[in-house]
Amino acid sequence: MNPALPDRLVLYDGVCGFCDASVRWLLAHDRHRRLRYAPLQGPTAAALRARYPEMPHDIDTVCFLDGAELRLRSDAAFAIVRHLPAPWSWLGAFAVLPRPLTDWAYRRVAAVRYRIWGKADACRVPTPEERTFFLP
């Protein structure tokens, strides 16, 4: 693993209102500060795409780099919450549901996320307190 990369990296759509709200929620609930974040539009994601060819080029898929393992869509979401303290980590138990079903639900939300939660003109700039948790 590249020493410059954190052990647990959430790659998200940096201009999506829902994704931004999700990252803010994760920051608020990750008391042990296990997660790091990078927008899918940034150089970190671009470099990872070269290493992980299965990483989509479109930005409607949350990706989670957990050690050397890349997780996508609902699998990523369930893996992310497992790193949060209880009771939030319990949501990871939904990973036992069939992946086609959970990915179908994930894709439905992804398809309407801009219409419901909006789209920013640019990625949000982290606050000074948050900067240590973000990669470009």
Res. 41: pLDDT tops 60: yes
Whole-model pTM over 0.85: yes
- The H-assigned helical ranges of 38-88 are 43-51, 73-81
Is residue 135 one of the residues assigned to a domain? no
**H runs (alpha helix) in 34-98:** 43-51, 73-81
Tell me, yes or no, whether 65 lies in a domain: yes
pLDDT value at 3 more than 80 = no
Distances (CA, A) of 97 to 12, 78, 83, 113: 23, 11, 19, 23
Q: Across residues 13-33, what is the average pLDDT?
A: 92
Host domain of residue 65: 8-118
What confidence category does residue 1 fall into, taking pLDDT thresholds of 50, 70 and 90?
very low
Mean predicted confidence (pLDDT) in 24-47 = 94
Separation between Cα atoms, residue 71 and residue 103, nearest integer Å: 12
Residue 113 lies in a domain: yes
Q: Answer whether 11's CB lies under 8 Å from 45's CB.
A: yes
61: in domain:
yes
